[in-house]
Amino acid sequence: MITLSGGSTVAPPTPGAPSRGKAPIARHRSLWGEIWRWAVTLVLFAMMGVIAAGLVLIVAIYRQARTDSAQPAEAIVVLGTAQYNGWPGPVFQARLDHALALWHEGYAPLIVVTGGKMPGDAYTEAEAAYAYLTASGVPPEAIISENLASDTWESMQGVARVLAPHGIHDVILVSDGFHLFRSRMMAHDVGLNATGSPAKASPIHVGGGGEYAYMLREAAGVAAHLWETRFAPVVKPVAG
């Protein structure tokens, strides 16, 4: 207690006791402030989801490039690439050599070669592959050609078209390792049951220079294919 000059006593103030006065004013966000806060949060979560999906996709491409899942099938499909005056370039030749090895080992009785021609070319990629395989001892009746495709998606559609009369659905895809994830996805999209076998002797080999640039490019290719075949048909406005 505290004794005042007049003889009266009062209790001392309690330490820490709140002083009397106006209560603090609670501030509330405006409606637009709340909308903006939630919009930013959703954008951040969407960006994190895209980054996570991209990383998962790159890992899947990386693992497929190092996995040979070849098993007995009805045909071996060689994805076309650069040819020079009717003869396959180094990358294409490595793919064809790998297909030859699988054919000699009895994985499949037929080899399908794919690829059209670039402007100014005298030969298609498939024609160059056909010349290389026949020169290597493969009988012409064991080779089926797809001569029109200009990219992987067109190749898969063309392969499905040329194999349909033969009733063939089970195939082994031969390409560079980084290319197999997207190729298998596209093959499944056209109704083919596809395994993958990478051409390990290709100049574009796993662990080689530029591999990660190729994988990033393939990830972008997968995203573009998914957009064109899954999402664009849904969001595309219906013509009136």
Show me where the domains of the chain are located. Answer: 65-228
Residue 161, pLDDT score: 97
CATH 1.10.1030.10 fits domain 65-228 = no
Mean local confidence (pLDDT), 68-86? 96
Plot region of 15 (φ>0 → left; ψ -120 to 50 → alpha; else → beta): beta
Residue 240, pLDDT score: 45
Query: How far is Cα 75 from Cα 193, in angstroms, rounded to an integer?
Result: 11
Query: How far is Cα 168 from Cα 75, in angstroms, rounded to an integer?
Result: 8
Mean local confidence (pLDDT), 163-172? 97
Q: Which of 41-45, 81-85, 140-144 has the lowest mean pLDDT?
A: 41-45
With a cut of 90, say whether residue 68 has pLDDT above it. Answer: yes
pLDDT tens per residue across span 174-184: 999 999 999 99
With a cut of 60, say whether residue 190 has pLDDT above it. Answer: yes
Residue 212, pLDDT score: 81
Percent of the residues in the chain that have a pLDDT greater than 90, as a whole number: 62
Q: How confident is the model at residue 70 (pLDDT cuts 50, 70, 90)?
A: very high
Residue 228, pLDDT score: 92
**Alpha helical stretches, state H, the chain:** 31-65, 90-104, 125-135, 152-163, 180-189, 211-226, 232-235
Residue 40, pLDDT score: 85
Q: How confident is the model at residue 33 (pLDDT cuts 50, 70, 90)?
A: confident
End-to-end CA distance of the chain: 89
Residue 46, pLDDT score: 84
Residues 6 or more apart whose Cβ sits within 8 Å of residue 90? 202, 203
Residue 34, pLDDT score: 80
